[in-house]
Amino acid sequence: MRGMIDFFRIICHNKRSLIGLIILIIFILMATVGPFIFKLNMTVDYNNRYLSPSLEHWLGTDFAGRDTFIQLVHGSKEVLLVGLLAAFFTLFVGALLGTLSGLVGGRLDSGIMLITNLFLTIPSFPILIIMAAIFSIRDPVSFALVLSAWSWPGLTRAVRSQIISLKERDFIVICKVMGMSKPHIIFKELMPSITSFLSISFIMTMRGAITGSVGIMMLGLAPYSPTNWGQMLNLAVSQTGGIFNPLGFIYLFSPILCLALFQLGSIFFANGIDEALNPRLRG
Amino acid sequence: MTPVIVLKRIGMAFVTVCLATVMTFVLLRLTPGNAIDAWARDYATQFGITLEEAYRRIAAMINYNPNEPLHEQFVRYISGLLQGNLGVSMVYQQITVNSIIANAMPWTIFVATISLFISFVIGMLLGVRMAWKRNSILEPSVSLFTVITSAIPDFIFAILLLVVFAYGLNWFPVNGAYDPFVTPGFNLDFIVSVLYYAAMPILTFVITNIGGWALMMKGNAVSVLGEDYIIAAKARGISESVIMNRYVMKNAMLPMITMLAITFGSMLGGATLIENIFQYPGIGYFLGEATRTRDYTVMQGIMLFLSVTMIVANLIADLVYSKLDPRIKVEG
C-alpha cells in the first residue's frame, strides 16, 4: 500500500506524467463507463446528416446522420480492449521466453533466439494485414492474438538482455551462494528489478497494438466494429468524402485527435513510471 | 570480422530465409480451400475441361495444389520458388506475381530512398547542433517535435497532408505516381511529374523519421564530445566548424549507418498504410489490394519478397557495421 502511495506521489510530482495519467484515466472512463451513459444508435437518418455540434449532438453527426461523439465513445471501448489484451498476451509470452532464455542459456537460449530473430526480421505490418485477412478477424480476442503474434519478439530480446545483465550482479550471486531456491531468486529478486521495465513495455506495447489495430481497421481489413476509430477513419476517407468535404471534417478529425491524445498520454505516463520505479533516475 | 564469423552470419541469414519460406508456405496452407475450389470450378467451365484437369493446371500456375499430400505440396512450392517463380495472381489470372513486384518495387524504393536520405541528413545536422549548443532553443523544439511525431502514427500524417495540401489547397495530386498525360521515360516532364506525385508520400516519411534520427545523432554526438581527441583538437585551436563537421559528425554518424539499412528494409514493408492512403502504386499498395480481394498468391509472394529483403538488409547492416567501426566487438 505504501508503495502505491509513493508511486502516485512521484507520478503527481512530475508534470508530464501527471498529464499522461489524467489523459489515460479520461480514456479509461470513456471506454468503461461511457457506453452505458451514451446509447449507440446506428440507424441511418439522411435528414440529419452532417449536423454541426449542438447540445443534442456534441460533435455533430456523420454522413449518415449518426452521432459522432457516441460512436467515438463506443469505439474507444473496442480500441482500448484490443490494445489491452494484445499487451497482456505480448507481456506474458515476452517475459516468459525472455526470462527462460536469459536464465537457462545454452541450447534453449539459442533456439529461442533463432525464432525471435526470425520473427523480428519478418516485416510486421504486412504480415499483420495478411493474418487479419486469413483469420477473418471478428472479435477483440482474435484481433489481440494476431497483433501480439508480432510484438513479443522485441520484448523477449529486451527481457533476456535485462536478465543476463542482472544475473551476474553481486546480489544475485550472493543469493546463489546462500543457497536460495531458484523460484525465490526469480520471483523475489529478479522480477522486482525489471517491474519498471515491464510496466513501461506494457504501455508501449499497448500503444503499438492500438496503432496497428486502427491501421488494419482503416484499410478495411477487419470490418467487424463500425465504431472502431480505424473503421471511422476508413469510412471518413473512403465512403463519405470526409477528406475533401469540410462538412465531414469533425467526423474525420475526432478519431484522429483521440488516437493522438491517447498515444501522447501513454508516452507521458510511461516517462513518469520510469522515474517512479527506477530510483536511479530520481535526482 | 574474421571470415568465419562472416560465413556464420551469412549462414544465419540463410536459415532465416528458409524459415521465412516455410512460414509463407504455412500461410498459403491456411488459405481457405474454397478460394481455390471456386477458381478451379470457374476454370473448368471456362475451358470445358474436367475439374481434375483444372486443378492440375492451377497447381502449375501457383505452385500449390491443396489436394496433394503435404510433402508433395511443399516440394512443388519450393521447386517453384527455386526457379524464381512466385505463381500468378488469383484475381487477375494473366498476371504473374513476379511482374506485380517488379512493377511496384521501383516506386517504393524510390520513395524510401529519397525520404531516408532527406530525413537522415536533416536529422544528423540537427542532432549535432543540439549536442554542440546545449542551451539553445533548438533542443526543446526538436524534443517537442519528436514527441508529437512519435505520438501521431504516420498514416495519420498522411491523411492530414492529404486533407490540407491535396484537397484543401490543391497544391499536390491526390493519388497516382505520375501524370497520366506525360510519356513515361527518361525525359524532363516525366521526372518532374514523378517527383511532384511522390512529394507527399516522401514528406510523410520525412516528418515521421527526422525526430528519431536527430535524437539518436544527438546522443552519439554528446558522447563523442566527451572524448579526448575533441578536447585535444580544441586545445590545438582548430576552428569550431571543423571540429563539429569533421570530427564530431563523422564519428557520431558511424553507429547510425547500420540503422540506415535496417530502416530502409522496414520502410519497404511499413509503407503499406501510406501507399494505400495516397494510392501510390508501390509494393504496399498492391499488398493492400491483394488482401482486400483475397488474392492469396500475391499476398504470399509479396510477403516472401519483403521478408527476404529485410533479412538481407539486416545482414548488410551487420557486415557493414564492423567494417566501419573497428572498435566494436563482434560476437561469434
Could you tell me the pLDDT band of residue B114, with boundaries at 50, 70 and 90? very high
Which grid coordinates belong to B82? 527455386
**Would you tell me the crossing angle of helices A191-218 and A152-167 to the nearest 10 degrees?**
170
Best to test chain A binding among B8, B17, B18, B19 (most A CBs inside 10 Å): B19
Give the angle A14-A15-A19 at the CA atoms, nearest 5°: 120
Number of Cβ within 10 Å of residue B323's Cβ equals: 9
Residue A45, all three cell numbers: 437518418
Q: What are phi and psi of B67, to 5 degrees?
A: -90, -10
Which residues in chain B are contacts of A133 at CB distance < 8 A?
A: 291, 294, 299
Per-residue pLDDT, A241: 60
Give strand ranges (E) for chain A.
none
* pLDDT tens-place string over residues B83-100: 777 777 877 777 888 888
Residue B326 has pLDDT above 90, yes or no: no
Sequential DSSP letters for B237-262? T--HHHIIIIIIHHHHHHHHHHHHHH
Place of cell 501527471: A18
Say if residues A161 and A116 touch (Cβ distance below 8 Å): no
Flag whether pLDDT at B47 surpasses 80.
no
Cβ–Cβ contact B292 with A under 8 A: yes
Q: Judge if ipTM > 0.90.
A: no
pLDDT band at B1 (very low <50, low <70, confident <90, very high): low
What is the rounded distance in angstroms from the CA atom of residue A101 to the CA atom of residue A73?
Answer: 42
CB-facing half-sphere around the CA of B252: CA atoms within 13 A: 35
Largest pairwise CA distance in chain A: 78
Rounded average pLDDT over B259-263: 82
CA-based nearest residue in chain A for residue B166: A244
Taking alpha carbons only, the member of B86, B90, B87, B63 closest to residue B74 is B63
pTM to 2 decimal places: 0.82
Confidence label for B331 from pLDDT (cuts 50, 70 and 90): very low
Within 8 A of B312 by CB-CB distance, chain A residues are: none
Please tell me the predicted confidence (pLDDT) of residue B30: 75
Q: Pick from A121, A124, A131: which is nearest to B314 by CB?
A: A121
- C-alpha cell, B271: 509503407
The span from the CA of A103 to the CA of A194, in Å, is 14
Write down the pLDDT at residue A283.
Answer: 44
Please check whether residue B100 is in contact with residue B90, taking contact to mean a CB–CB distance below 8 angstroms: no
Residue B241 Cα, gap to closest chain A Cα (Å): 34
Task: List, in order, residues 6 or more apart from B22 with CB less than 8 Å away.
Answer: none
- List the single residue in A121, A256, A263 with the smallest CB-CB distance to B311: A121
Q: Which of A260-274, B19-33, B131-145 has the lowest mean pLDDT?
A: B19-33
Nearest CA in chain B to A220: B292
Rounded Cα gap, residues A194 and A167, in angstroms: 12
Average pLDDT of every residue of chain B: 81
Q: Is the pLDDT of residue B117 over 50?
A: yes
d(CA A103, CA A95): 12
- pLDDT of B241: 81
**pLDDT surpassing 80 at residue B149:** yes
- Between the alpha carbon of residue B262 and those of residues A123, B126, B314, the distances in Å are 11, 21, 6
Is B163 in Cβ contact with A132 (below 8 Å)? no
pLDDT tens, chain A, 283 aa long:
666 777 777 777 777 788 888 888 898 888 888 788 777 777 776 777 776 777 677 667 777 667 778 788 888 888 899 899 999 999 999 988 988 888 887 888 888 888 888 888 888 888 888 888 777 778 888 888 888 888 888 889 888 888 888 877 777 778 777 877 777 777 777 777 777 788 888 888 898 889 888 888 888 777 777 778 888 888 877 766 656 677 777 778 888 888 888 988 888 888 777 777 766 555 4
Of A174-178, B18-22, B27-31, B234-238, the range with the lowest mean pLDDT is: B27-31
Question: Cα dihedral sign for A202, A204, A209, A214?
Answer: positive
* Of residues B205, B197, B209, the one with CA closest to residue B272: B205
